[in-house]
Amino acid sequence: MNFGFTLEEEKLRQEVHDFLRKEVAPELIAEVVEYSGGAGPVHGRRIIQKMGARGWLCPTWPKEYGGINSSEMVGFIIRDEMTYAGAPVSLVGATMAGPTILRLGSDELKKEYLPRIARGEIEMALGYTEPQAGSDLAALELRAEDMTEAQATDKGEVEAEDKGDYFLLNGQKMFNTHAHFADYHWLGARTDPTTPKRHRGISLMIVDLKSRGITIRNMTTIAGWKTNEVFYDNVKVPKRNLVGEKNKGFYYIMTALDFERMFPVGSFRRIFDELIEYTKETKRDGKLLSQDLVIRQKLAEMAIELELSSLLYYQLAYILDKGEVPNYQSSMQKMFATETAHRLADIATQIIGPLGQLQSGSRWAPLHGEAELHYRWGFIETVYAGTSEIMRNIIALRGLGLPLPLG
């Protein structure tokens, strides 16, 4: 056993830490918040490109695709530091779509997308959820019809340059975060509506979000940032944009979640550090908050849960570096860390007291209003990418082998 980092890992962590300390300005943090933790159009893109140039955006990838061939541990360390600094870390291309392209994509797809993702030039939006397909992703209906050249010509809709085979897409996506500022849609679509096993009729494909027929409509979340409904109306997608094999998309998505479902708690370690300082310099009724026995208990509790979230987080890197795929562990980490984060924000607002409801921008708001913001954000984090309830189902079914519920 070894719960420490190697010297090289420590050195790299420090390097990333120092870099981010210099680069992350308040405008960037504000933009990250506005763009749901992603790389917004101005400051976000700039910083991820700088990181990309160092190979830090997709460090585990081979050099030819813009990585530095690092261990997963290094990747986890970098992301941990990025969240600590308030840099964008919800990067679909770099951490979700990209790794799947690397595993399953054709050479053509790899060459086309991976280097640009690793350089921070393009961003993607997840296109899984639909109005009737949330936790039950296999219920997705957005239809992708196979159009051969002949059929396309028959339809008379195809423009001259559109000679190749393509999919014709119709339907609606929902809660597709990043879609309004991403370049591509990482889309799950139904390619076989006839199969009785609905998991087997879904394919994964990359769609240019500028394609004709796509309409994006914003929805505002409880945390203030926007997510989207995305409507597909006869959108044509070239078949070479298919990722992996047709009709296997559901399994790809599920496997990808095992690899990628993780929640670094760096930003919460930072809020916690700031909260500790706040309690040491703030008096209530003549007494420092840090001397209040109840507050001391609560802070100690949070220190423990943050440490545990972190251990669960780095355990995932350890599993991946062994060449194994995390089984229930990624679900456990996501559940535990997001619940810890929400509780921390909750406790922070309580410790701050009535001022805990003040939003960022108010002159009276302690901790720049972060406690209040993350309290709202916590509702989302414990739901998106799999609710805590679904995480517990996965732990029980896959981690413990309990029988599937009937019905």
> What beta strand segments (E) does 80-225 contain?
124-127, 143-147, 166-173, 184-190, 202-208, 214-220
Would residue 260 show up in a list of annotated catalytic residues for this protein? yes
What is the residue type of 327?
N
Min separation Cβ 138 and other proteins, Å: 18
Q: How many residues bind other proteins (CB under 8 A)?
A: 47
Element (DSSP H or E) covering residue 230? strand 226-238
Residue in 72, 130, 260, 370 annotated catalytic:
260
Residue 207 makes CB contacts below 8 A (sequence gap 6+) with 127, 169, 184, 185, 187, 214, 235, 237, 241
The DSSP 8-state label assigned to residue 395 in this structure reads: I
Residues between 242 and 301 with contacts to other proteins, criterion CB under 8 A:
276, 279-280, 290-291, 293, 296-297, 299-301
Can residue 354 be called a binding residue for other proteins (CB under 8 A)?
no
CB of 77 to other proteins, least distance (A): 10
What is the DSSP-derived secondary structure letter of residue 187? Answer: E
Task: Decide whether 150 or 294 has the Cβ nearer to other proteins.
Answer: 294
Q: State the Cα–Cα distance between residues 130 and 198, nearest whole angstrom.
A: 15
Site mask for other proteins (CB under 8 A), range 311-330, x = bound: xx-xx-xx---------xx-
Residues 376, 223: contact at Cβ < 8 Å?
yes
Q: Which is nearer to other proteins, 355 or 395 (CB)?
A: 395
From residue 63 to residue 102, the character string flagging contacts with other proteins as x (rule: CB under 8 A) and all else as - is ----------x-----------------------------
Q: What's the token pair of residue 173?
A: 């996506």
| Token output for 167 | 């999919």
CA distance 56 to 111: 19
CB of 237 or CB of 257, closer to other proteins = 257
Which residues are known to be catalytic? Answer: 260
Residues that bind other proteins in the complex, under the rule CB under 8 A: 1-5, 73, 276, 279-280, 290-291, 293, 296-297, 299-301, 303-304, 307-308, 311-312, 314-315, 317-318, 328-329, 332, 335-336, 389, 391-393, 395-397, 399-406
